[in-house]
Structure 1
Amino acid sequence: MDSIAHSLQRAYSMKQQRYLRLAAWAQRFACLPLLLAFSMVSSAEPASGQKVFRFNVSPNGYPPYMIVDQEAPTGIMWDVVSLISARIGVRIVPQQIPRKRVDQMLLDGYIDGTSRAREWVQEPDKFLFTNPVVDIQEVFFTPKHAGKTYHSPEDLFSKTLVTHLGYMYPELQPYFESGDIKRFDVSRDRDMFNFVLHGDRFDAAVVDLLVGRWILKNEGLQDLFTVSSNNISSYGFRVMFRKENRSFVDKFNAELERIRKNGELEAILANYR
């Protein structure tokens, strides 16, 4: 009987040890996601303590100002912000945030900056803006087969204008609200031209001049559209920050002025014209 009891006790002891080992492994694996998360967060901060600037490039970009369909972001705004960030000792990290979530995520601190014209923001006083990096010049693009070119908003009365979903057009908004011009929203810049080119309901598209020329060139459509002779609107394209980043914005503006004067900014712009 003693031998049987001893055997049972030994078996129980072995079982208990095996259970404790399994529990220890389970505890280790339970901590693994937390350890991985900590590792990823830690790796986002350079070992040198260099400050990181999380810059929104958006999922689709905004070529040629922001191009994201390559291994690394490029484009006018990315090149300028990268150059200036390096000069003032800040490491830039791209973040792809959907347009409708950008403002709140910026306010909440998930990102540190995004490209934006002040006139496109519903509550601009909540943010801080750099000096303009480049001017956005909105124009009308009209298909050549229409036989006419629209040069002013009045030319488009009773017409339908293709616009970008979620974009604000301060100069055109009164005409949209009065019904003088109908607005039709499209989610991607390049699709705006396809709608105008192939849709019987649409008369023109309002697009930034540089963006439009870039798309038409890359899509092989440059001979199929005419462009209005005058800008419908012109806005400074800036970097938008939270208000507490005044020191960073001041340094950014100083370096922006320096590269404007020494020709570096113009050289970047020339790469995308």
Structure 2
Amino acid sequence: MHGTLGALLLWSTSCLAAEIPLRFAITDGWAMPMVQIERGRPTQGILPDIMTSLATQVGMPAEFHVLSRARLGAAMRNGEVDVRCYVSPAWVDDRDDYLWSVPLFFQRDLLVGTASAPASVSPAALTQQPVGTVLSYTYPTLQPLFDSGQLRRDDARSQEQVLAKLLAGRYRYGVSNQWALDWFNQRHTADRQLHGVAVLQEQELNCYLRKDPDIPAQRILDTLQKMKASGEIDAIIQLYTGRKAESEAETDAP
């Protein structure tokens, strides 16, 4: 009897352990193809697809927490979420308190204009005007121009809203990453498509996770490295964008 009860207790404990979720942070300022958020939950996109695959491969259910960018740091520090992806270590003040994956993504930030905008623009040469930006996002290349008052931030809640406001004529230029710009243009005719007029920044981005004994940290890091090396992550990116991630740095620059 004791053996049976012990076996049942061991089985129930292992089942409960298997159901402990891997909690991912999702930024509410992201847009497709990174993520689509409906009723406060991600429904599709590059990042939830990668996160779901990661959780499945490490044997944990994925749990998504949609947060404002301003809340992300505190959520990680307070243990509300376990993993945050699409991040540069330079963006995180307490970066040494976490475990970091190998570089997984390549991001190109662009200054974007409408079809009537010049093919190439020097941000420093722009006259005093507003520029479309995402709330709480930092733009190191443009920050000196914001500080001097030459340019003024016009914040929107998401990347998609920045591009929609640009197309509607709210300002002459906005900032977008390459993925979001490509996705936005897919839904518009050629005469209404936006285009990059200057490359502001290019960088590789990672995932990072909390140092917590309840999280299988090394298994998560090893799995992310395997997903990158096998081409799985790049295949997901290409599925949504049509771009081969490994060649992004050398192609399509304005």
| TM-score by shorter chain over 0.5 | yes
Deviations 1:86-122 (A, max 9, x none): 2222221122223322221221112212234223335
TM-score (norm 2): 0.75
| 1:172 is aligned to 2:147 | no
Residues 25 and 85, structure 2, Cα contact 8 Å, conserved in 1: yes
Residues 31 and 158, structure 2, Cα contact 8 Å, conserved in 1: no
CA distance in 1, matches of 2:96, 2:121: 33
Q: What number of residue pairs does the alignment pair up?
A: 226
- Cα offset, 1:60, TM superposition: 6.1
Question: Partner of 1:203 in structure 2?
Answer: 172
Bigger helix share: 1
CA distance in 2, matches of 1:194, 1:166: 18
1:184 corresponds, among 148, 154, 157, to 154
1:241/1:258 Cα in 2 relative to 1: closer, same or farther (>3 Å)?
A: closer
- Taking only aligned residues, the RMSD between alpha carbons, in angstroms, comes to 3.0
1:68/1:166 Cα in 2 relative to 1: closer, same or farther (>3 Å)?
A: same
2:72 corresponds, among 102, 105, 127, to 102
**Range 66-75 or range 204-213, more displaced:** 66-75
1:192/1:46 Cα in 2 relative to 1: closer, same or farther (>3 Å)?
A: farther
CA distance in 1, matches of 2:14, 2:24: 16
What is the letter of the counterpart of residue 138 of structure 2? Answer: M
1:137 corresponds, among 102, 108, 116, to 108
- Cα offset, 1:66, TM superposition: 2.0
CA distance in 1, matches of 2:226, 2:95: 26
What is the letter of the counterpart of residue 107 of structure 2? Answer: I
Residues 142 and 203, structure 1, Cα contact 8 Å, conserved in 2: yes
Residues 30 and 159, structure 2, Cα contact 8 Å, conserved in 1: no
Question: Partner of 1:83 in structure 2?
Answer: 53
Question: Partner of 1:113 in structure 2?
Answer: 83
Question: Partner of 2:240 in structure 1?
Answer: 272
Residues 17-166 of structure 1 mapped to structure 2, 5 A cutoff: 47-50=15-18, 51-59=20-28, 61-69=30-38, 73-118=43-88, 119-146=90-117, 148-166=118-136
CA distance in 2, matches of 1:245, 1:180: 49
| 1:227 is aligned to 2:195 | yes
- Cα offset, 1:249, TM superposition: 4.4
| 1:263 is aligned to 2:231 | yes
Query: 3-state SS of the aligned residue for 1:49?
Result: helix
CA distance in 2, matches of 1:268, 1:217: 18
Deviations 1:2-35 (A, max 9, x none): xxxxxxxxxxxxxxxxxxxxxxxxxxxxxxxxxx
What is the letter of the counterpart of residue 52 of structure 2? Answer: S
Residues 103 and 205, structure 2, Cα contact 8 Å, conserved in 1: yes
Question: Partner of 1:217 in structure 2?
Answer: 186
Gaps of 5+ in 1: 1-44
* Aligned residues with identical type, % of pairs: 20
TM-score (norm 1): 0.70
CA distance in 2, matches of 1:122, 1:187: 23
